[in-house]
Amino acid sequence: MQLCRMEEPNQNPNSKSPLTKDHSKLNYISEEQQINAMIESAPFPIAVYIGKEMRIARANQAVIEVWGKGPDVVGKIYKELLPELEGTGIYQRLDEVYETGIPFNIRNSKVKLTINGELKEFYFNYSFTPLFDDSGKVYGVMNTAADVTDLNLAKQHAEFSEINFRKMILQAPVAMSLLRGPAFVVDLVNEAMLDIWGKPFAQVTGKPVFEALPDAKEQGLEEVMEAVYRTGEPFFANETPVKLIRHGKEDTVYQNFVYQAYRDPYGSILGVLAISVDVSEQVRARKELEKTYEQIQLSKTAAQLGTFDLDLEKGTMEWDERCRKLFGIAHMNPVTYEQDFVQGLHPEDKERIIKIIDELLTGKKPDGNYDVEYRTLGQQDQQLRWVRAKGKVYYENSKPKRFIGSVLDITNQKQNEQRLLDLSEKQARLAAVVNSTDDIIISKTLEGIITSWNPAAERAFGFTEAEAIGCHISIVIPKSRLNEEDYILGQIRKGSKVDHFETVRYSKDKREIHLSLTVSPVVDHTGKVIGASKIARDISQQKIIHQREKKYTVRLEIMNMVMSAISEELDLNKILQKVTDATTELTGAEFGAFFYNKMDTTGESYTLFTLSGAPREAFEKFGMPRNTAVFHPTFSGEGVVRVDDITKDPRYGKNDPHFGMPKGHLPVVSYLAVPVISRNGHVIGGLFFGHPEPAMFSEEHETLVISIAAQAAISLDNAKLFEEVRALNDKKDEFIGLASHELKTPLASINGYLQILDRQIKEEAPKKFLQKALNQVGRITALVNDLLDVSKIEAGKLQLTNGEFDLKPIVEESIELIQHSAAKHIISFSSGMSHCLVQGDAQRIEQVIVNLLSNAIKYAPKADKVEVALSCTTEKVVVSVKDFGPGIAKDKLKNIFTRFYRIDEASPNISGLGIGLYLAHEIITRHNGEIWAESELGAGSTFFFSLPRQLD
């Protein structure tokens, strides 16, 4: 029977020293006892398992303590003793070592063992070594282990022997190398370090490290290593990049390494122990992660993403800057769920979102996914924003731990969606309008090809939509108007709109349609004009109405002109000519005439008074019309005669000698005759109209002429009355002039006799009556003089003496004259001028001033003052006389300068003929001046007159 020895701590693990077969039994027993003794005394756990079932044959105290199953373990099966190792792979590894004879070892392996009824976790470095019998067959497995759970593993390793130390280096899971002496010769290096260096073992062992790794020079490593060797102080570095030629390629290795002094048992430094961990992958992964994070941050910023993190255990919530902005939060204090999130939700969304979150946090949505849209209302800026939030609730043991996610501002998207919805609604409404409107709506390309054709277009033009679309718009355009389409498309290409373009188009049956077009450019999303939209309204009826209105307007204008003209005109000849011309134009007659109803002794002749549309000679050579059957209804006043063809009328052609129209007579077929009847029923005459074409006069023409004839009759009556009044006025003026002249001589004699008596009579009483007689004679004389002036004015014989004079003393003398006879009134005079030269008749101007002053006192008996003012500008001088009487109504002011006009209701007890202001007006007007009055009832009146200024 042969027993494979345990690995000695100071031996190479790859070398084995089996017991030789030729030893004596005594030596064998002695050696087995030594092994047993070694197992029992070993400070680390050792156990021997026999057979395939792995029955425990030996177990030292260390392993018994590790197992924690009590001391009675020998003889038990390994699986039954340690059932908790099921599923860890340890059973399978034991079986593999037993079956293959290949040892197995592992370091830092996690193993869970039940100790005193409690499952605990340990870390072990352990190995399974096969045990061979004499025949070389595996009969068992030796299990050695080291509990490396304790953090003093490094110290325990340091206490090992040299062989164990070297073994540790070689088997270490991290890169290690032992560099001896000041040259740092590579004494020992494990596979992990060789992998970092990228060199084979033979290329580096026994050589100074920087000779074996020349590419590692000048990177600061030599100085660090020399410092450790010199001072004994360890050096630590993390994620240090070292450039090396690894496996024939230049590479950068990131390492976490320690340079530690290696000492002998006496503490002398023998070299440097280099321990390194290749963290290149982690560093690169971290850098990639950082890069990815940076890209995520950039993407998040570009996408305007915000993030939130709600720690449900701690009750804290983190928002980034973007998230804060979406909720309108300006403060940088910690945010809270209730105050900042819930209060920041729009009132209409708050209940819905809180319910969703509650379902997530209570587990009603076990997947934990969160994807919602809601509105926020900024707590500080009050701005409404749309937000899409996506996130996830993370659970642990069915309890929510974290709620993490992102938020995105989708305000623009929502606004666009709303705009699209509005646009869709508008398009739907537009489509409904297009289909239901009576207006023609057509769209076309810039080449004139029809692309849409609404029902109104079908009804108007007669082409169906299927017939029209794809055709050129010229199918409805008359050839004579094709140039219009070129103009319209030219405007559209320039982006201009064509408004209210009136034109004519053809229907399918070539019927003309009057249209008003409005054409607008159609643009694509880039603003490029791609077509035209045309709205056309049928204005055929409006055209007819417009033509009628235009015709009516012309007729009304003519009628108004005629009515105005004849109402203002008092000349009989002019009235009749205007009436004849206007009615001839209104009826469209070729010629028209007015015949005065003047009968001769036989009662059959009529006088041609006016003619329009034909020379007077055309009638004169045929004589005046007679009282025939055709003319009788008009001159008798029976009514209007309107005949489409007078030559076919039964009343026509019954009288000799012509029995119809004489040769050379104006051709008359259409005939219209309207009597002109005065207010007293007397037929003044008749208006007659003729046209060589039949049926030219309508009922409308008849009505128009009747209206004008009625107004003409009134004007003719007025003209006759005016002639009669003018004749009577002439006789009156003749009488006034004669009477005034005849009265002037006796009045002068009476005045002379009275003055003689006044000088002779000394008694007081007779003298008083004599003075009153003289005053009355003076008043009568002034009245006679005024009447004589009126007579002269009417006859155009009033003479003015023209000369230069100073107006200011004239005004002052007039005031002084009136002031003597009006002691009750104080007449004040104001003027800023030393003198005022004017051109005219000084005596007549004084007459005007005296008249105004006399009226101011006479018509304001209750007042006690009169104000007179003289002012001037560069062009004229102005005199004003202001009284403080009852004033004059505005409707009376316009007539106060009319001859014989009096305001009797204002001064019923004041005598006068109403000629004083008339004379003043005529005198001032003949001096090229102006006279006017301003007044307000209850506030008095002011009379002004102005004269052209005579410059010094």
Residue 294 burial (CB < 10 Å; 0-12/13-18/19+)? exposed
Q: How far apart, in whole angstroms, are the C-alpha atoms of residue 450 and residue 440?
A: 13
Q: How far apart, in whole angstroms, are the C-alpha atoms of residue 76 and residue 140?
A: 14
Assessment of whether the complete model's pTM goes beyond 0.75: no
Q: CA triplet 745, 751, 755: central angle to 5 degrees?
A: 145
Q: How far apart, in whole angstroms, are the C-alpha atoms of residue 198 and residue 99?
A: 36
Residue 527 burial (CB < 10 Å; 0-12/13-18/19+)? exposed
Helix (H) or strand (E) holding 931: strand 930-936
Q: How far apart, in whole angstroms, are the C-alpha atoms of residue 777 and residue 589?
A: 69
From residue 573, give the alpha-carbon distance in Å to each of 578, 586, 640: 9, 20, 23
Q: How far apart, in whole angstroms, are the C-alpha atoms of residue 591 and residue 574?
A: 18
DSSP secondary-structure letter at 166? H
pLDDT at 11: 41
Torsion of CA 460, 466, 471, 477, to 10 degrees: -10
From residue 84, give the alpha-carbon distance in Å to each of 68, 92, 165, 412, 686: 12, 14, 33, 62, 143
Q: pLDDT digits over 44-66, tens only?
A: 899 999 999 999 999 998 888 88
* Helix intervals (H) in 873-952: 890-893, 916-926
Sequence-distant (≥ 6) Cβ neighbours of residue 929 within 8 angstroms: 876, 945, 946, 947, 948
Q: How far apart, in whole angstroms, are the C-alpha atoms of residue 902 and residue 856?
A: 15
pLDDT at 950: 65
β-strand partners of 146: 125
Q: What is the largest CA-CA distance in the chain?
A: 215
pLDDT at 828: 92
Helix (H) or strand (E) holding 877: strand 876-882
pLDDT at 464: 93
DSSP secondary-structure letter at 763? -
512 with 506: CB under 8 angstroms? yes
pLDDT at 13: 43
Q: How far apart, in whole angstroms, are the C-alpha atoms of residue 917 and residue 897?
A: 5
In the structure encoding, which two tokens stand for residue 296, read together? Answer: 């995520």
Which of 437, 482, 430 minimizes the C-alpha distance to 458?
Answer: 437
In the structure encoding, which two tokens stand for residue 249, read together? Answer: 């390629």
pLDDT at 131: 92
138 with 101: CB under 8 angstroms? yes
Torsion of CA 440, 443, 447, 449, to 10 degrees: -80
Q: How far apart, in whole angstroms, are the C-alpha atoms of residue 904 and residue 56?
A: 159
661 with 686: CB under 8 angstroms? no
Chain centroid, CA 419 distance in Å = 14
519 with 431: CB under 8 angstroms? no
pLDDT at 911: 53
- Taking phi over 0 as left and psi of -120 to 50 as alpha, with beta for the rest, 424 belongs to alpha
Q: Which long-range contacts (CB under 8 A, 24 or more apart) does 644-650 make?
A: 644/670, 644/694, 644/695, 644/697, 645/669, 645/670, 645/694, 645/695, 646/670, 646/671
pLDDT at 289: 66
From residue 789, give the alpha-carbon distance in Å to each of 169, 737, 741, 781, 915: 156, 9, 11, 12, 10
pLDDT at 157: 46
Q: How far apart, in whole angstroms, are the C-alpha atoms of residue 61 and residue 78?
A: 16
Residue with tokens 């996830």: 392
Identify the segments of the chain with pLDDT beneath 50.
1-24, 151-158, 160, 622-624, 658
Helix (H) or strand (E) holding 107: strand 104-115
pLDDT at 142: 92
246 with 253: CB under 8 angstroms? yes
In the structure encoding, which two tokens stand for residue 540, read together? Answer: 């055929």
Q: pLDDT digits over 209-239, tens only?
A: 888 888 888 888 889 889 999 998 999 988 8
Angle between helices 699-760 and 764-795 (to 10 degrees): 150
Which of 3, 32, 27, 35 minimizes the C-alpha distance to 16?
Answer: 3
Q: How far apart, in whole angstroms, are the C-alpha atoms of residue 506 and residue 512?
A: 5
